[in-house]
Amino acid sequence: MLKRQNPGTPERSRDLAAHGGALSMSHNDSRSFFNLSQLVLSAGQIKPSPALKHSKITYFEVEIVDVQSKKQICIVDKVPPASTILDVKHKFHKACPQWYPSRVGLQLERNGPFLKDSINIQSLAVSSIVTLYFTDLGQQVGWTTFFLTEYTGPLLIYLLFYIRLSTIYDQVESRKNFRHPVVHLACFCHCLHYIRHLLETLFVHKFSEGHTPLKNMIKGCAFYWGFTSWIAYYINHPRYTPPSFGHKQVSYAALAFLMCEAGNHFINVALAHQNNSGNRTCFPSPTYNPFTWLFLLVSCPNYTYEAGSWISFTVMTQTLPVGIFAFLMVIQMSLWAQKKHKLYLKRFYPEVRRKAAMIPIIF
């Protein structure tokens, strides 16, 4: 006959513990409540903290991987948390001297945008090892060199045609024909235009990015230098025909050209002053200068004045090469203005939403 077990026996206690019952703790039990709590606390957090920004990491290791082959090029070690992408590029150049910092493009993802030089490396890190993808951007040139080369060429090329070199024009025919005053005026206006660009490049403009591919400079020089040769050849030709409406056409067009040149300069100065002061919270507003009042109608008045200069120059000289060049410039300026206008809408929507990009109503 089976005996009825006492509920207080040890077997009954183990059975209750197996089914989730309360287990009484004796003085002789080695697993005390204190030891159990220490064990739980030593297990750490259930979820690891994803924020690395607050962790105290002395140095990062930056792994440089080729974007095409996905092979590791090198590891840049001992990168302080306060370092920027530009600092990483300099360290990468020391490890691989064939790649200068200006031609190194670094991406956080293979198909992502290139990281700016001012970005802090700590803001990109999710661990002590940061992986960046490398792209060779090719030979680079500075923006100042880019514009100085692009604008110096037309200035010198036009003057070579203006003095009528014997290798370009027939000297006998050049001596016989009298030069119309518009030829001298066109030379003055053309030189004034590019001298203004050169001076603004040196003393007014501030470029956000330090370099651009060399191929862009070659294409820009081919465009400007080629069109300048074509324009200067016809305007300074001994058989050049003056405008149809004579003095009035030349005078009004020259006045419009000078006004557009002045307006372009004052707009560039206003934009440069805004960038230098660091106040980018609002769109540039017109000042007491009447040339800046165009800000009330368009978001890119510098392109408006630039297009106006070449249209006026076309009317003043009445030549086909200038007309074609002006037409292409208006198209290019409108594309640049549309692109910049979209950026302005994102940053200064209340001030820009009622403005046109370059020409009121049309663009």
Domains of the chain, by residue range, sit at 60-138, 141-242, 243-362
What is the number of residues in the chain?
Answer: 363
Q: Report d(CA 109, CA 134) in Å as an integer.
A: 10
Rg (CA), the chain: 36
Condensed to tens digits (0 to 9), the pLDDT of residues 88-113 reads 999 999 999 999 899 999 999 988 99
According to DSSP, the β-strands at 60-66 and 140-142 are unpaired
Q: Which pLDDT does position 22 carry in this prediction?
A: 40
pLDDT band at 127; cut points 50, 70, 90? confident
pTM score:
0.78
**Cα 156 to Cα 31, 141, 229, distances in angstroms:** 94, 22, 10
Say whether pLDDT at 198 is over 90. Answer: yes
Q: Which helix (H) or strand (E) holds 74?
A: strand 72-79
CB under 8 Å to 58, separation ≥6 — which residues? 80
Q: Report d(CA 145, CA 216) in Å as an integer.
A: 12
Q: Report d(CA 194, CA 200) in Å as an integer.
A: 10
Report the chain's mean pLDDT, rounded to a whole number: 84
Task: Render 211-233 in DSSP notation, one character per residue.
Answer: EEEHHHHHHHHHHHHHHHHHHHH
Say whether pLDDT at 165 is over 90. Answer: no
Give the right CATH number for 60-138 from 3.40.50.460, 3.20.20.140, 1.10.10.410, 3.10.20.90: 3.10.20.90
Q: Give the count of beta carbons closer than 10 Å to the beta carbon of residue 287.
A: 13
